[in-house]
Structure 1
Amino acid sequence: MNLNEWMDSRMKTIVFIGSNEFGTSKEALTIAKQMGYFVVLLTDKSKLMTNNHGFSEVNQIIFMKNLMDEQQVIDRITKLKEEGKHICACLSFIDPFVSYAARISKSVGLAQISVNSLYLMEDKIKVREKLANLPITPFYTAFHFGDSPKVFEMKYKEHFPLIVKPPISNGSKDVLFVNSIEMLEDALILLQKKHPKSSLLIEEYLLGPQFLAEIVVYNNKITVVGIIAQEVIYNGRFIVIGYKFPARVNTDDYKNLCQSISSIVEQTGLTNGSCHVEMKLVQGEWKLIEINPRMSGGVMNRIIEEGTGINLVKEIIKMYLGEEPTLIETRKQYVYARYLTIGSRGKLLKVTGKELALMHDGVKYVYIKPLKGKILSNPYSMGNRYACIIAASESEEKAEAIALAAAKEIKFYLAPI
């Protein structure tokens, strides 16, 4: 590549709004760089501006105190153009910026993503209302600011057990299980304090195996890229610690799931974009837990790529570039991802065993999240998963066995606090 070609490729720019320090959103930055784009990250995290921010794949980080100021973001993109950058895409892989970035993309003349649909998916109460007529919708109601807790509790006491959660949340934060009037009262008080003046979603607790489906819609064509079985633990919060890909689903259940997904996509109006749904199979019927207007975070891209050869993050970026995504499997193997949590609170002294875990035949990836000195605790959200091991094999059982054996190598050493 000569100097002129290098300069031209350097000016082809993708703007990302927000990023986590691990997972899909962080991986998207690296993939965009590998695709040959100049990567710009708009962030409201001032710590990323330091020299050791850990975002070496980003060419330019721009700190903005209020990322939700749409006009300021558009002005900043305009300035990038004036500096010689050819803006090719604007997108986000994290809440609450997904529909927001899609709206800005449309405003500045970039890819036309289904903004209204993505915006709807960001509010769990609005989604329930939109899908109320579909059989995948469980019993639900909403507790609104100003409602009488006592009247509400007496009205719905026959529906226990229930789930209570704010309409805008992610990573299992503030998702509470209640099975009595006392628990419901405590949940309403706690969540009203944390989310003042916000309505709360109350829905029936569903019993059954849980699955996640990654979905891409391009020009109204729906592609179910992968169905993943989830292993969930409950310790006061619901935490997913295991992912099995591809999920074992019989032919009839798979057909019904695809029909359910089609109904959801149609009702929400998604014609261009990506999302993921979490579903439970309850006595032979699919029920929607929730839908999110982005692909899953964490290691989901690596799970799908190991199992199918599809780099889903790359294909979603291509869609935001106005290109048709390529969603063709080039390999088939079973993948198991195991997340590690801890059962006590303390300051991290050290973590050992990563190299030993990587030595297990079939282990594809080992990630240790926290750094020395961080305060760790038992899990109250997905953010409290502190390590992950991914293994792949020719059988589901072997992939899981490999990952679990490798996970035993990882040891966290904590100082009590």
Structure 2
Amino acid sequence: MKSIIFIGTQKSGSSREAIKAARRLGYKTVLLTSRINQIRNQEAYPDVSQMVFCNVTDYVDLKRNISELQENGLEIETIISFVDSYVYIASLLADEFGVGCFTSDAIFKMHDKLLSRECIKQTPYVPWYKILKDNYYESVDEIYHRLPLILKKPNSTGSKDVYLVNSVSEYLDRLERLSNGYHDQVIVEQYIKGPQFLVESLVENKEIKIVAIIQQEIYIYSGHSIVTGYQLKLDLDSEFEQSLREAVTEIVMCHGMKNGACHLEMRYVNNQWKLIEINPRISGVAMNEFIFYGLGINLAEQTLNLALKKPLQLTPKYEMYTNAQYLISLLSGKLLKVTGRNEALNKFGVIKVFIKPQRGSTIYTPTSMGYRYAYVIANGQDEHQAKINAKIAASKIKFHILRE
């Protein structure tokens, strides 16, 4: 039977929906995982045909396990991952086994924030930035005159190891945290003030296919930028949208991507687009559902079609004003219970309510995007109404926490 090998998955979200899509397309799904709880609870993953326990960060171990599967008769059509940490290694393995389609070198560049900045340094889309290694304190005078700034590690993801600093004292404190006492490389860059947009795209034979443009709401907590809201944009000014498309096309081409999936976070300031970051995959958590509810496009499924070298179906089946609101907690502690789910679900325009943590789990304040604990997706007759519907529903959900 024709099979697709997945490297890692979350219990829900885009990575899990890709596995479900593969099953719908008629493929055997093989999951390579290093999560022992997934192996022990395989009944919770009925869409996974076979699970294999291995070290998913070890290329040699992955290659050995895939070779054994192949020797046992597995007909591999592609090897892929929708989990940020494994996208690159999955692409390399696909190349190794002769089923590769995505541009591995471009994926590598997109993963590394420093290499990504270097790729676009000759374009107008790059913010001012500087690489800090051994000159943390020598740069203080320059830093003072450029505040506010963003500090990040080259391999940062999901707002983890990314800080907004507004003063020299914050700058020095965050540097100490990021370097852990060692002189690791740190990127310091201009903080761009302006509306932020997420652009979900596929690249096929060097042609950039923008699937969805989404405006983001940002909540700043202790220097971390956490996205708490998403609004699907359906009525962008044509000139504004064209300028965004031109920027996205040039940025992706500068990274050398010929085939693959990517999403870009862009900010618009003084009539100019600036790249916040680019990642070589569909956004996680609810993004695949969000796009499907708004446009009728299953982006995870279409990413699989791209990897399988099959025709893409990216024409929207419909267009609905859609908004998603994510919930965070400003308290850390043990979760006693969650109330309001049914009330939220019954609110006007609500399509989906998802609550991640279970009773008894530990809740943390939002120092990364991974600490968003629920979301509501709603639609409306226009952008404003969709946003109101989602926010009203989200306000009904309460986390009851025993503080630490």
Deviation at 1:52, TM superposition (A): 6.2
Deviation at 1:213, TM superposition (A): 0.2
- Aligned partner of 1:342 in structure 2 is 329
Deviation at 1:35, TM superposition (A): 2.0
Q: Deviations over 1:67-123 (max 9, x none)?
A: 232232122112112222211110011122112211111110113211111111000
Are the structure 2 counterparts of residues 78 and 25 from structure 1 closer, same or farther at C-alpha, using a change threshold of 3 Å?
Answer: same
Say if 2:27 is the partner of 1:41: no
Say if 2:190 is the partner of 1:200: no
- Aligned partner of 2:107 in structure 1 is 118
Say if 2:130 is the partner of 1:141: yes
Percent of paired sites with the same residue: 37
Secondary structure at 1:21 match in 2: coil
Q: Deviations over 1:312-353 (max 9, x none)?
A: 000001111121221111101110000011221221111122
Q: Is the 8 A contact 2:234 2:321 kept in 1?
A: no
Say if 2:278 is the partner of 1:291: yes
- Aligned partner of 2:81 in structure 1 is 92
Secondary structure at 2:85 match in 1: coil
Pick from 68, 71, 78 the counterpart of residue 82 of structure 1. 71
Say if 2:312 is the partner of 1:322: no
Pick from 3, 8, 31 the counterpart of residue 18 of structure 1. 8
Say if 2:41 is the partner of 1:51: yes
Deviation at 1:180, TM superposition (A): 2.2
Letter in 2 for 1:264: I
> Equivalents in 2 of 1:176, 1:222: separation in Å?
31
Letter in 1 for 2:272: E
Q: Is the 8 A contact 1:218 1:324 kept in 2?
A: no
TM-score by length of 1: 0.93
Secondary structure at 1:405 match in 2: helix
Letter in 2 for 1:33: R
Deviation at 1:298, TM superposition (A): 1.4
Are the structure 2 counterparts of residues 207 and 38 from structure 1 closer, same or farther at C-alpha, using a change threshold of 3 Å?
Answer: same
- Aligned partner of 1:160 in structure 2 is 147
Deviation at 1:365, TM superposition (A): 0.9
- Aligned partner of 1:369 in structure 2 is 356
Pick from 207, 215, 223 the counterpart of residue 209 of structure 2. 223
TM-score by length of 2: 0.96
Q: Is the 8 A contact 1:42 1:63 kept in 2?
A: yes
Across the aligned residues of Structure 1 and Structure 2, the Cα RMSD in angstroms comes to: 1.6
Letter in 2 for 1:242: G
- Aligned partner of 2:161 in structure 1 is 174
> Equivalents in 2 of 1:181, 1:227: separation in Å?
36
| Structure 1 range deviating more: 300-309 or 354-363 | 354-363
Deviation at 1:225, TM superposition (A): 0.5
> Equivalents in 2 of 1:197, 1:42: separation in Å?
35
Deviation at 1:53, TM superposition (A): 7.0
Letter in 2 for 1:374: S
Say if 2:245 is the partner of 1:255: no
Deviation at 1:271, TM superposition (A): 0.9
Deviation at 1:197, TM superposition (A): 5.2
Deviation at 1:26, TM superposition (A): 1.9
Gaps of 5+ in 1: 1-10
Pick from 343, 355, 380 the counterpart of residue 356 of structure 1. 343
